Amino acid sequence: MMELTAAQRRMADGEDGEITRRLMRLLVRLGEVFGAERMVELSSVQVSGISYKSIGDPGLEFLEDVAAQGARVRVLTTLNPAGMDLQRWRELGFDETFAAKQWRIIEALTTMGALPTVTCAPYLTGNLPSFGQHVAWAESSAVSFANSVIGARTNREGGPSALAAAVCGCAPAHGLHLDHNRRPTLAVEVETKLTSRADFGALGHHVGKLAGSGVPYFFGIDTAGVDQLKSLGAAMAASGAVALYHVAGVTPEASQHSPAGLETVRVDRRLLDDARSALSSAGAQRPDLVVFGCPHASLEEIARLARRLDGRTLKTPVWICTARTTRDTAARMGLVETIEQAGGQVVADTCMVVSPMEDLGFGTTAVDSGKAAAYLPGFCSQRVVFDDRDSLIQGALDDEG
């Protein structure tokens, strides 16, 4: 039996309403399955399963039903990407029926009190927990970032369990909420310099397959910024189920652990190049579309791309996926205009994987993201060109390459 606080007991007993009782009982049941002895109090929740493409009518009806029964979130709750740009969907070619249903999903969740951030990088848009705080996040790339780069604590929640956690403000204390599960299980010695996001993505994709749901501990990555780490973690979460990794000298918990005695894998340039090649499935096919922003692009990434496109003309369309608030800031800085003048698009609220790309007439997509390269063939029937950002931009420009 799990030990509950008085407030949690009231929820489980139905004193806060029937829907809260049902959701609390779901959390208790999950806790029992995983052997949790108590709940942790949460500082925030990230809910996934927002795209109509992903959840369809059953998911839409479930969310509307929960909202209609009066469920309301108790903690800061943010949302994963939707299936379309919520403002410019018509201009970008999205279908009217799809758009109407997508909006109903957003309305159901905002009725419950969730913030319509609609991004997979909530840590860039106001949902930024501090070191050691417990959260319940349900986006695998964001889970990896929260655990590894921030040092917050979350398991890989699913859409329903995250929603239940948001309404009840707590989650079962098991898995990565507990110290002993945060120890490394596999050492990875990186023997080559990582020079691009594509390198980080390919490394992540390779290591994710080896680590499964374990905790890799990287050596030899001397420096890595936020965008590189989000790329590394997203790819490991896609090819495996990695929810936490450590990088010696870089991530905040690395110094608390020793990888001594662990199985060690080595990654040299030849192996990394092989991993990069394995992510390309398009052969000699040219891309119909080049997409950046998986996970959602930061302002710095948008600024870099704008500088690269300034005064140029694209012959292949380029989309940069990001959060609405990041796009708004980029627009105020003139970056969106620069990108649009070159023929590119800064697409908010969605991404190439959770939108119905295959219905928009694209068959071959170029990316520099290991996660996108892993998911696009299966989720969107796309052939993939995987390469560095600069090479992809070069190929997409009218006047060069």
DSSP letter (8 states) at residue 75: S
Q: What minimum distance in Å lies between the beta carbon of 152 and ligand F3S?
A: 18
Q: What minimum distance in Å lies between the beta carbon of 4 and ligand F3S?
A: 33
Strands (E), 1-113: 39-41, 44-47, 76-79
Q: What minimum distance in Å lies between the beta carbon of 291 and ligand F3S?
A: 9
Cβ-based nearer residue to ligand F3S, 20 or 365: 365
Cβ-based nearer residue to ligand F3S, 362 or 375: 375
Cβ-based nearer residue to ligand F3S, 314 or 372: 372
Residue 399 CB neighbours (<10 A): 9
| Nearest-angstrom CA–CA distance, 307 and 333 | 12
According to DSSP, the β-strands at 246-247 and 318-322 are: unpaired
> What per-residue string of b and e applies to 2-17 under the rule 16 or more CB within 10 Å gives b?
bebeebbeebbeeebe
Q: What minimum distance in Å lies between the beta carbon of 68 and ligand F3S?
A: 27
Q: What minimum distance in Å lies between the beta carbon of 260 and ligand F3S?
A: 33
Query: Across the strands, what pairs with 292?
Result: 320
| Nearest-angstrom CA–CA distance, 164 and 169 | 8
Cβ-based nearer residue to ligand F3S, 139 or 387: 139
Q: What minimum distance in Å lies between the beta carbon of 215 and ligand F3S?
A: 20
List residues binding ligand F3S (CB under 6 A).
Answer: 81, 120, 141, 234, 294-296, 321, 351, 353-354, 371-372, 375
Cβ-based nearer residue to ligand F3S, 371 or 383: 371
CA distances from 90 to 263, 296, 321 (A): 52, 21, 16
53 Cβ neighbours under 8 A, 6+ residues apart:
83, 98, 354, 355, 356
Cβ-based nearer residue to ligand F3S, 8 or 345: 345
